[in-house]
Amino acid sequence: MNKRTFLLLFLVVNFSYSQTVRDSTQLSPQNQENATQRLLSGNLGRAVTLGAYGELTYNQPEGANGELDVQRLVLLLGYKFDDRTQFVTEIEIEHVEEIFVEQAFINYAVGDNVSLRGGLMLIPMGIINEYHEPTTFNGTERPAVDNVIVPTTWRELGVGVTGRFPDASVGYQAYIFNGFKSTDIDGEGGVKGFLKGSNGLRGGRQKGIKSTVDSPTFSTKIEYYGFPGLRMGLSGYFGKTQAADDVEHLDGATIGISMVGFDVRYAFRKITARGQFIYASLSDTQAYNTLTGQDLGSALLGYYGEVAYNILPLSARQRLFAFARYEKYDTHASTNGMLVRNDAYNRTDITTGLSYHIAQGVVIKGDYQFRDNNVANGNVANRLNFGIGVWF
Least-confidence region, from 43-57, 254-268, 274-288, 367-381 = 43-57
pLDDT of residue 30: 66
Cis peptide before 153 (omega within 30 of 0): yes
Per residue in 207-241, pLDDT (tens digit) is 999 999 989 999 999 999 999 999 999 999 999 99
Rg (CA), the chain: 22
pLDDT category at 190 given cuts 50, 70, 90 is confident
Element (H, E) at 268: strand 256-268
Assign a CATH topology to domain 18-391.
Answer: Porin (2.40.160)
Query: Residue 89 CB: number of other CB atoms within 10 A?
Result: 18
pLDDT digits (tens, 9 = 90+) for 148-174: 999 999 999 999 999 999 999 999 999
CA dihedral 147, 150, 153, 157 (to 10 degrees): 150
- Type of residue found at 203: G
Q: Quick one: average pLDDT of 172-182? A: 97
> Phi and psi (nearest 5°) for 146?
-90, 20
pLDDT at 6 over 50: no
Q: What is the DSSP string of 139-178?
A: SSSPPTIIIIIS-SS-EEEEEEEEEEEGGGTEEEEEEEE-
pLDDT of residue 119: 98
Find out whether 358 and 24 touch, Cβ atoms under 8 Å. Answer: no
Cα dist from 164 to 27, 75, 113, 160, whole Å: 21, 28, 5, 14
Q: What is the mean pLDDT of the chain?
A: 91
380 exposure class (CB count in 10 Å sphere: 0-12, 13-18, 19+):
middle
CB distance 198 to 345 below 8 Å: yes
For the cut 60, the answer to whether the pLDDT of residue 372 exceeds it is: yes
What is the structure's pLDDT at 32?
A: 72
pLDDT the model gives residue 26: 54
Residue 133: count of CB within 10 angstroms of its CB: 26
pLDDT at 188: 80
Of 61, 59, 149, give the one whose Cα is nearest residue 345. Answer: 149
Cβ atoms within 10 Å of 348's Cβ, excluding its own: 17
More confident residue, 28 or 347: 347
Domain locations along the chain: 18-391
Using alpha carbons, select from 88, 319, 339 the residue that is nearest to residue 196: 339
pLDDT in tens, 7-63: 333 333 343 333 333 444 456 776 677 777 766 666 545 678 889 999 999 999 999
pLDDT for residue 361 is more than 80? yes
DSSP-derived 3-state class of residue 230: strand
Are 283 and 299 a contacting pair, CB within 8 Å? Answer: no
Kindly indicate the confidence band of residue 308, based on its pLDDT and cuts at 50, 70 and 90: very high
User: What span, in angstroms and rounded, lies between the C-alpha atoms of 157 and 29?
Assistant: 28
Question: Minimal CA–CA distance to 188: which of 101, 293, 99, 280?
Answer: 293
Question: Does position 3 have pLDDT exceeding 70, yes or no?
Answer: no
